[in-house]
Each structure stands twice: as structure tokens, then as C-alpha cells.
Amino acid sequence: MDKIVITGGRKLKGEVAISGAKNSALPIIAASLLSEEESVIENVPDLRDIQTMLRLLRALGAKAQYENGTVTVKPGKNLNPVAPYKLVSTMRASVCVMGPLLARMGQAEVSIPGGCIIGPRPIDLHIKGLEALGAQVEIQHGYVNARAPKKLRGADIFLGGSFGSSVLATGNVMMAAVLAQGKTTIENAACEPEVVDLARFLKKMGAKIIGEGSPILEIEGVKKLRGIRFAVIPDRIEAGTYLFAAAMTGGDVLIKKTEPAHTHAVADKLRQSGVRIDKGKMTLRVRRNGRLKPVDVTTLPYPGFPTDLQAQMMALMSITPGISVITEKIYPDRFMHVSELNRMGSKIFLEGNSAIVHGVKRLSGAPVMASDLRASAALVLAALVAEGTTEVHRVYHLDRGYEKLETKFSFLGASIHRERE
């Protein structure tokens, strides 16, 4: 296992290019199963989760390969409908093969992903949507067995749960509906840019969808889809992570190959915190000279502040003079980073689904343990401003979602490297 070693105290300066969005690429790769023909997907980051998705596609009988940021998938005529526990248990996003398998093969047997370190992760909305389209769903031996003896039929579906809309459930149901007979309306659809990107991919394949980016999606089923070439959007969570890094270190960084329109909520909070952000066409320049100011943040579905940047925001709050409050509305238990940040000298108190953060003058480097992808990113950010050296263990979490993390931070002037344990 590797560890990342960071010595804090350097202001980040320079330019960093953002990779393709992991959370866009994963469902899009699954969606390529909807055609027999070959699809080529570009701007795909070189990440462990992407490799897991490709392994899953191969297990389903498709040809799938990755080379230099490009994924090529050739599903062929017949697919094996079983997504095995071994692969699904390592990555929840595997669940998004359910919609395409059901639509193409009339059958999907997908291991139930289960919860994860960020809390319970139910899939009731996925199942509700697929049942509404006519699938018969049974839970047996830890698997969701979905069958559509007759062709799926369009339906009116309300996809809201206790925590609002669901990104992957919207994707899954949309992917099934594009090949169903007749019209489907999904209400309370997720509006995240990754859902819009998936809809763009499907439309290029020949699907008929309107309303992507709004809570109401209208889909007219078609008989067949074709293979296409497509490039995924830039990763807004990676961009946000570099925004925080530059802001925390008091640096001056130009973030390139990004989509500023996808980071409004984050830029707004950073500006309130005293950070200067200038938008360009595909760039964001982030600078800070003055003191950070405390803010309160609540995570919400898009276009609200993303849960995937909550931990990173907390790292910034840790060194912001005064008291800041962060409330987690998507995953109320997503606070595994709190105890590790506190080991570095943060003063964070949990109160239900809120964290009360008392800003401290300085953090101190320590050995810390990464618990999930975004929690690990928060530890890296804290380490960049901490006194002394921090060792972040269990780096495989970071490798799931941040492409070339040490290289990118090194280019910006950070003292960071990877070591074998």
C-alpha cells in the first residue's frame, strides 16, 4: 500500500489542468452497453474506479479497453446479465449497469452494493423506477434480480426520496427508458451536470430526451441506439478541490480545462470567505491575500453546494478564524474526516448532521488515515497548510477519484510525494 507524504507551508502557484469527470464517465461507460455497436469515450480520467467499471463490462461480455484517456467499448449482440458481488462491492457505481442490461437483455442480476463508509446507500429509487417501467424485481441472495419478460413500457415516475433526487437512480431509469416502448416522464430527476452529460451521450446515440438539467425529464423510447464518439465534461469536484487548495495556502492558481458554470455554489462560498475567483471561458483563477472569513455551508443537490466538496470545505474552515458551520443534507453520516482533521489540530464538533468548526491558527502534520475518497482529499488539503510533515495512509481511496494528484500538486509548488509502505 502507498502513502502520500506532504510537508506543509508552501503557497500554491501556477496552472493546473482538470481531468474528465469520474462521476460522468462511469455511467456513460455503462450507457455504452445500450448499443451493440462500438462507442469511443474520450477525456476519461485514469482512475481505479474506471478500471473497475471496465472489468465489470468485460465480465458482462463486452469488449472494453482504456488507452490514453480514451475508453473503447464494443458490447456486441449478447451480454451476460450478471454483475457479480466481487466487482459491485468495490464500487457502488457498478449499479448503473442495471438499466442498460434490463433494456438490452430484458434481464439484470446485480449484486446489491450495500452501504459504505459515508453511510447507508440504498437503491430503492433505482428499483422503484425500473418497476414503474414494467420490470419485475426480486431481491435474492444479495442480488437484485430484475426481469422484463415483455418489453419495458414508458411510465410517469416520481424519483424523490427522503434526501431528494438521486444522481445514479435518475441515470439508471433514464438508461432503461430510452429503449422502452412509449413515453417516460421522470419527475424530481437529479439536475447534476453528470446527469446532463449522460443525457447528451444518450441523445448522440439516438435517444429522445428533453429536459435534462431540470427536475422533469421526458423520454420517448426508440428501438435501437448507435455507437458514437463522445468526450466527457471536466470534473467539477476535482476543480473544486484545487480551488480550496489555492485558497487555503494563500496562493494564486489558474485552473484550466474546467467548466466555471458547474462551480457557482462553491465559488460563491469561497468569495464570501474572502477568496478572489475570476472566471474565464474554461478557466478559474483563484487568489487569496487577506484573512479567511467564516461562512456557513449546507450541502444540497445541484445547483447547491455539493456533498463531494463538504470535507474539503471543512479543511478550509479549520484554518478560518471564527466559527463556521457545515450541515450535511445528502449523507448525514459523512463525517469520517472529522476525527482525522482533529488529530491534525482542528477543533471540530459534531452536532447531528452539522459540524461546528472553530478555526485554529495552525494545523500540525501527523500520520492520518484516509477513510473515503473526499475525506482523503480534505486530509491532503489540511496537510498542505500544516506545520511539519503529514503522512496520508490508505491512498487507494484517493486513487479512485483524483488523477495524478501528487504530480498536479507538485507542479503547483507543493512538497508532496508518494512512498511505498
State the catalytic residues.
116
Q: Taking Cα atoms as reference points, which of 268, 240, 276 lies closest to residue 255?
A: 240
Contact 216, 189 (CB under 8 A): yes
Out of 167, 284, 382, 405, which residue is the one contacting ligand EPU (CB under 6 A)?
Answer: 167
Please tell me whether residue 163 binds ligand EPU under the rule CB under 6 A.
Answer: yes
Strand 229-231, strand 347-351: pairing: unpaired
Please tell me whether residue 169 binds ligand EPU under the rule CB under 6 A.
Answer: yes
Contact 397, 370 (CB under 8 A): yes
Please tell me whether residue 114 binds ligand EPU under the rule CB under 6 A.
Answer: no
Please tell me whether residue 411 binds ligand EPU under the rule CB under 6 A.
Answer: no
Please state, in angstroms and rounded to a whole number, the distance separating the CA atoms of residues 268 and 303: 12
Cell of 273: 470567505
Please tell me whether residue 88 binds ligand EPU under the rule CB under 6 A.
Answer: no
Distances (CA, A) of 380 to 49, 316, 369, 414: 20, 11, 11, 11
Cβ burial 279-294 (10 Å sphere, 16+ → b, else e): eeeebbbbbbeeebeb
In the complex with ligand EPU, the residue whose CB is nearer, 41 or 366, is: 41
Please tell me whether residue 106 binds ligand EPU under the rule CB under 6 A.
Answer: no
Strand 39-42, strand 229-231: pairing: parallel
Strand 82-83, strand 107-111: pairing: parallel
Indicate the helix (H) or strand (E) that contains 65. strand 63-67
Least Å from the CB of residue 163 to ligand EPU:
3
In the complex with ligand EPU, the residue whose CB is nearer, 254 or 381, is: 381
Out of 14, 142, 161, 321, which residue is the one contacting ligand EPU (CB under 6 A)?
Answer: 161
Residue 399 phi, psi dihedral angles, 5° rounding: -70, -15
Least Å from the CB of residue 108 to ligand EPU:
15
The window from 116-124, 150-158, 215-223, 268-276 that contacts ligand EPU (CB under 6 A) reads: 116-124
In the complex with ligand EPU, the residue whose CB is nearer, 143 or 331, is: 331
Count CA within 13 A, CB hemisphere, residue 143: 17
The window from 117-125, 147-155, 208-216, 335-343 that contacts ligand EPU (CB under 6 A) reads: 117-125
Please tell me whether residue 93 binds ligand EPU under the rule CB under 6 A.
Answer: yes
Size of the site for ligand EPU (CB under 6 A): 26
Please tell me whether residue 330 binds ligand EPU under the rule CB under 6 A.
Answer: yes
Please state, in angstroms and rounded to a whole number, the distance separating the CA atoms of residues 167 and 256: 26
Least Å from the CB of residue 5 to ligand EPU:
23
Out of 12, 28, 87, 123, which residue is the one contacting ligand EPU (CB under 6 A)?
Answer: 123
Out of 52, 111, 307, 320, which residue is the one contacting ligand EPU (CB under 6 A)?
Answer: 307
In the complex with ligand EPU, the residue whose CB is nearer, 307 or 390, is: 307
Question: In sequence order, what are the beta bridge partners of 387?
Answer: 364
Locate the DSSP E strands across 167-261. 183-187, 208-210, 216-220, 229-231, 252-256
Please state, in angstroms and rounded to a whole number, the distance separating the CA atoms of residues 241 and 381: 8
Please tell me whether residue 374 binds ligand EPU under the rule CB under 6 A.
Answer: yes
Please tell me whether residue 197 binds ligand EPU under the rule CB under 6 A.
Answer: no
Indicate the helix (H) or strand (E) that contains 279. strand 276-279
Cell of 237: 469536484
Q: Which residues from 221-280 bind ligand EPU, rule CB under 6 A?
A: none
Sign of the torsion angle spanned by Cα atoms 155, 171, 73, 225: positive
Least Å from the CB of residue 113 to ligand EPU:
9
Write down the H helix ranges in 69-111: 85-88, 98-105
Least Å from the CB of residue 248 to ligand EPU:
20
Least Å from the CB of residue 161 to ligand EPU:
4
In the complex with ligand EPU, the residue whose CB is nearer, 254 or 382, is: 382
Out of 3, 6, 12, 23, which residue is the one contacting ligand EPU (CB under 6 A)?
Answer: 23
Residue 32 phi, psi dihedral angles, 5° rounding: -65, -20
Out of 126, 200, 288, 408, which residue is the one contacting ligand EPU (CB under 6 A)?
Answer: 126
Out of 20, 221, 260, 401, which residue is the one contacting ligand EPU (CB under 6 A)?
Answer: 401
Contact 243, 273 (CB under 8 A): no
Question: In sequence order, what are the beta bridge partners of 189?
Answer: none
**Residues that bind ligand EPU in the complex, under the rule CB under 6 A:** 23, 26, 92-93, 121-126, 161-163, 166-169, 190, 194, 307-308, 330-331, 373-374, 401
